[in-house]
C-alpha cells in the first residue's frame, strides 16, 4: 500500500502548455505539501494545505495553482509552463497536531521536463 502517491511519475511537455500533477495520501493526515527539487537537488517548499485550506504559500509564481478537493488529495496545476519549471515535484503529508516536530511523508516525485 503506497502511503503517498503521485501521478504521473514523468512528465515531458512543451513550453507554454498547461499541466497538472496529482497527489493522494492514504495515511489519514490533515496536512499536505508540495516541494520543488531543482536540478541541483535543492528542495524548497511551495505550498501547504490543511484540510483543504491553504496555509503556506511561498513566493511561487501565480502560474502555479494548488487545489485540494479533499484532505486526502492535493493537486498542482501549472499554467504556461516555462523552461525553469523543469524539476522534480514532491508531494508530502503529515499530521498537523505535532507541529514542527511532525514527520512529513514524501511521495516518489514527479519529474517534469519542459522543452
Partner 1 sequence: AQSVTQPDIHITVSEGASLELRCNYSYGATPYLFWYVQSPGQGLQLLLKYFSGDTLVQGIKGFEAEFKRSQSSFNLRKPSVHWSDAAEYFCAVGQGFSGGYNKLIFGAGTRLAVHP
Min dist. Cβ of residue 80 to partner 1 (A) = 26
CA angle 77, 81, 86 (to 5 degrees): 95
CA angle 55, 60, 63 (to 5 degrees): 110
Residues 94, 31 contacting (CB under 8 angstroms): yes
Give CA–CA dist 31/49, Å, rounded.
Answer: 6
For partner 1, the binding residue among 18, 82, 96, 115 (CB under 8 A) is 96
Does position 104 bind partner 1 by CB under 8 A?
yes
Q: Which is nearer to partner 1, 7 or 50 (CB)?
A: 50
CA 75 to chain centre: 7
For partner 1, the binding residue among 12, 27, 55, 113 (CB under 8 A) is 55
Give CA–CA dist 50/81, Å, rounded.
Answer: 27
Q: Which is nearer to partner 1, 47 or 82 (CB)?
A: 47
Q: Which is nearer to partner 1, 1 or 41 (CB)?
A: 41
Site map (CB under 8 A) of partner 1, residues 8-47, x = contact: -----------------------x-x-x----xxxxxx--
Amino acid at each position: 500500500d503506497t502511503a503517498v502517491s503521485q501521478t504521473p511519475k514523468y512528465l515531458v511537455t512543451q513550453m507554454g502548455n498547461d499541466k497538472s500533477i496529482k497527489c493522494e495520501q492514504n495515511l489519514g493526515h490533515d496536512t499536505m505539501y508540495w516541494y520543488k527539487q531543482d536540478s541541483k537537488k535543492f528542495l524548497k517548499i511551495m505550498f501547504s494545505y490543511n484540510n483543504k485550506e491553504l496555509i503556506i504559500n511561498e513566493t511561487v509564481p501565480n502560474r502555479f495553482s494548488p487545489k485540494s478537493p479533499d484532505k486526502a488529495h492535493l493537486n498542482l496545476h501549472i499554467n504556461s509552463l516555462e523552461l525553469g519549471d523543469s524539476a522534480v515535484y514532491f508531494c508530502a503529508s503529515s499530521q498537523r497536531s505535532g507541529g514542527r516536530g511532525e514527520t512529513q511523508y514524501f511521495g516518489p516525485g514527479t519529474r517534469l521536463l519542459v522543452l
